[in-house]
Amino acid sequence: MPAQSLKKAAVKQAPALPHVDDAKIDFDTIEAFFFAYRDFVSDPDAILEKLGYGRAHHRVVYFVCRNPGMTVADLLDTLQITKQSLARVLKQLIDDGYIRQMAGPEDRRQRRLYPTLTGRELALALSDPQSRRIARALEGMSTEARTCVLEFLARMRDAEKTGAE
């Protein structure tokens, strides 16, 4: 095959993209989200980096601490990730003593997840700076405004995954 044909074969074919009127894009809100998310995760990221962990570890520790005894299947459903992705992260957290896995009381094949004391401390250490950031952002806002913030965030979630319409 000639070199020119190899180059063309190696180029990834982009899918057909719809025409979008850029006047309808809310660039200001999108940028606000990018910057808010960057800063929201920056403090936990610094802690996680020292442990050799990433954001996937944070999510697992967070949800296991919020829902002690949840099953692996429940966690997969919550995080919307593959078994393979979870298995690697979960194994590290179990091996490092942050999470323990126990057989279910009725079904021994069921795997239930619990934070260890160290796991709970890690979850709190990761959540504390985020909670303080949220408190600062909401400071001085009325109860109604705070309710609107929560409603807005709930509406941002994928309606198919949350059952919202």
pLDDT on residue 8: 59
Domain ranges within the chain, ordered by starting residue: 47-158
Section 53-71 average pLDDT: 97
**Fold of domain 47-158:** Arc Repressor Mutant, subunit A (1.10.10)
| pLDDT, position 48 | 97
Distance CA 12, CA 137 (A): 43
Question: Residue 110 has what pLDDT?
Answer: 80
Please give the torsion angle defined by the CA atoms of residues 113, 115, 46 and 52, in that order, rounded to the nearest 10 degrees.
Answer: -60
Look at residue 165 and tell me whether its pLDDT is greater than 60.
no
Dist CA 104 CA 94 (whole Å): 17
Residue 13 has pLDDT above 90, yes or no: no
pLDDT digits (tens, 9 = 90+) for 103-162: 867 777 788 999 999 999 999 999 999 999 999 999 999 999 999 999 999 999 876 554
pLDDT tens readout for residues 86-100? 999 999 999 999 999
Mean pLDDT of 65-93: 95
Per-residue pLDDT at 1 exceeds 60: no
pLDDT tens figures, 28-54: 999 999 999 999 999 999 999 999 999
Question: Which residue from 60, 74, 77 is spatially nearest to 161, judged by alpha carbons?
Answer: 77
Q: What is the mean pLDDT of residues 67-92?
A: 94
| Entry pTM | 0.81
| Residue 156 to residue 152: CA distance in whole angstroms | 6
